[in-house]
C-alpha cells in the first residue's frame, strides 16, 4: 500500500491519464428514471455530450495535462449519498444547486429555507480536492458528474451587475478600487477610496488586460478553466437557459427524493430584471467594436464547447 501510495504521489497525472484525452463517452445510467416524460431531456443530453466529446477530440492536446490534479478538481462539490459531483459555475444557477446538494446530503429539509450566506459561507459541502488521491479517483470514476453552463456574455453581464452595481464589501474595495485607479482618468477621491461605481467599460478593460491590477475571479473566469470539460468526463451537461427542466431530469437520474424539485427563485437582488440577451445588448453598447470582439475572443472556447451561438 505504501509503495502504491508513493507511486501515486510521484505521478498523479500519469495515474490520472485514463480519465482523459478524450474521455470515453459512457452511456448515462437511466435505471432510476421513473417515467417516460424525460425522452426529450435524454436526447438533449446525448446531443450535448457527443458535441462536447467531438469538440475535445478535435481541439485537445497533451499539453493540457500539465494542470495539477488538485487544481482540476478544486471547483467540484461532492454529494456522497447520491454519488453526485457538481462543478460550480458561478452565475449559472450555482446557489440553488448548492441548496439542492445540501438537501440531498440530509443537511436541510428544503432548498427554500437556506440563506445565501449559509450556502456560500457555511462550509457544509465538501469539495473533491479535500479527499486523498484514492478518494478523488474513485469518485471521478464512479459518481455522476454534472456541469451547468450559461451563455458566456449573459454570465459576464450578470456577474458585473451582481458584484459592481450593488453594495459589496469584497468586490468594491478589492476589485473596484484597483479597476478605477487603473482605467479611470481623473477619478475622484471618493471613487478611489470606496471602489464603488465601476462602469461596465472599465470592467471590460480590466478583463482584457494581460497585466490586470487584480487577478481573475471565478464569477467571470471561463468555464473551460473552472471545470476543465475536456479533461473531466462530465456525464450530464445542463444549461442555464433550460435550468429547471435539465436540473429536474438530473435529479431523477440520481434517484433524488420525488418531492425534491429544483428551486426557481432568484437568489439575490430579486427585484432586478434577470440578465437576458436584451439586457446584455444594452451593456455592450458601451463598448467599442474592438472591445466587443476581444470579449467574445476571451470566451471563445466556452462558446465552442457548449455550442452557444456567437452573439
Tens-digit pLDDT profile for residues 105-163: 988 877 778 777 777 666 789 999 999 999 999 999 999 999 999 999 999 999 999 99
Q: Which of the 8 DSSP states describes residue 17?
A: G
| CA–CA separation, 66 and 201 (whole Å) | 34
Pairing outcome for strands 76-79 and 126-127: antiparallel
pLDDT at 16: 45
Reduced to 3 states, what is the DSSP secondary structure of residue 156?
A: helix
Residues with Cβ within 8 Å of residue 156, at least 6 apart in sequence = 207, 220, 295, 299
| CA–CA separation, 55 and 224 (whole Å) | 12
pLDDT at 114: 78
* Residue 239 host element (H or E): strand 236-239
pLDDT at 17: 44
Q: CB atoms < 10 A from the CB of 61, how many?
A: 8
Please, are residues 202 and 287 in contact by the beta-carbon 8 Å criterion?
Answer: no
Mean pLDDT taken over the chain = 87
8, 227, 268, 296 from 13: Cα distances, Å: 9, 17, 39, 32
pLDDT band of 7, cuts 50, 70, 90: very low
pLDDT at 172: 97
Q: Where are the domains of the chain?
A: 38-154+219-276+301-306
- 12 pLDDT above the threshold of 60: no
Q: What is the mean pLDDT of residues 178-202?
A: 96
Share of the chain above pLDDT 70, in %: 86
Q: Is the dihedral of CA 183, 188, 194, 197 positive or negative?
A: negative
Instruction: Look up the pTM and report it.
Output: 0.88
And the C-alpha cell for 33?
Answer: 428514471
| CA–CA separation, 200 and 272 (whole Å) | 17
- 292 pLDDT above the threshold of 50: yes
pLDDT at 272: 78
Reduced to 3 states, what is the DSSP secondary structure of residue 146?
A: strand
Rg (CA), the chain: 20
Q: Is the dihedral of CA 145, 150, 155, 159 positive or negative?
A: negative
- Name the one residue in this structure whose C-alpha cell is 472591445: 291
Pairing outcome for strands 236-239 and 144-149: parallel
Tens-digit pLDDT profile for residues 218-269: 999 999 999 999 889 899 999 999 999 999 999 999 999 989 999 887 666 6
Tens-digit pLDDT profile for residues 53-78: 999 888 865 444 556 788 889 999 99
And the C-alpha cell for 176?
Answer: 473596484
Amino acid at each position: 500500500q505504501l509503495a502504491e501510495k508513493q507511486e501515486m504521489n510521484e505521478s498523479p497525472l500519469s495515474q490520472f491519464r485514463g480519465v482523459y484525452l478524450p474521455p470515453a463517452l459512457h452511456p448515462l445510467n437511466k435505471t432510476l428514471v421513473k417515467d417516460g416524460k424525460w425522452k426529450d431531456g435524454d436526447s438533449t443530453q446525448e446531443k450535448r455530450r457527443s458535441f462536447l466529446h467531438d469538440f475535445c477530440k478535435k481541439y485537445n492536446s497533451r499539453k493540457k495535462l500539465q494542470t495539477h490534479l488538485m487544481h482540476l478538481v478544486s471547483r467540484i462539490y461532492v454529494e456522497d449519498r447520491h454519488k453526485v459531483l457538481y462543478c460550480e459555475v458561478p452565475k449559472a444557477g450555482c446557489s440553488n444547486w448548492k441548496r439542492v446538494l445540501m438537501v440531498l446530503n440530509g443537511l436541510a429539509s428544503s432548498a427554500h429555507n437556506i440563506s445565501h450566506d449559509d450556502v456560500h459561507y457555511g462550509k457544509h459541502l465538501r469539495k473533491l480536492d479535500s479527499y486523498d488521491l484514492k478518494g478523488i479517483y474513485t469518485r471521478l470514476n464512479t459518481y455522476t458528474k454534472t456541469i451547468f453552463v450559461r451563455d458566456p456574455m449573459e454570465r459576464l453581464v450578470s456577474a458585473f451587475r451582481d458584484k459592481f452595481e450593488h453594495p459589496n464589501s469584497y468586490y468594491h474595495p478589492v476589485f473596484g478600487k484597483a479597476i478605477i485607479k487603473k482605467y479611470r482618468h481623473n477619478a475622484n477621491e471618493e471613487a478611489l477610496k470606496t471602489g464603488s461605481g465601476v462602469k461596465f467599460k472599465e470592467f471590460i478593460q480590466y478583463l482584457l488586460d494581460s497585466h490586470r491590477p487584480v487577478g481573475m475571479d471565478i464569477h467571470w473566469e471561463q468555464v473551460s478553466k473552472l471545470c476543465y470539460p475536456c479533461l473531466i468526463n462530465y456525464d450530464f451537461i445542463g444549461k442555464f437557459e433550460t435550468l429547471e427542466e435539465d436540473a429536474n431530469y438530473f435529479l431523477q437520474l440520481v434517484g433524488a427524493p420525488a418531492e425534491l424539485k429544483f428551486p426557481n427563485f432568484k437568489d439575490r437582488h430579486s427585484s432586478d430584471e434577470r440578465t437576458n440577451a436584451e439586457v446584455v445588448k444594452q451593456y455592450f453598447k458601451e463598448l467599442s467594436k474592438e472591445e466587443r470582439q476581444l470579449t467574445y475572443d476571451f470566451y471563445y472556447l466556452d462558446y465552442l464547447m457548449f455550442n452557444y451561438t456567437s452573439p
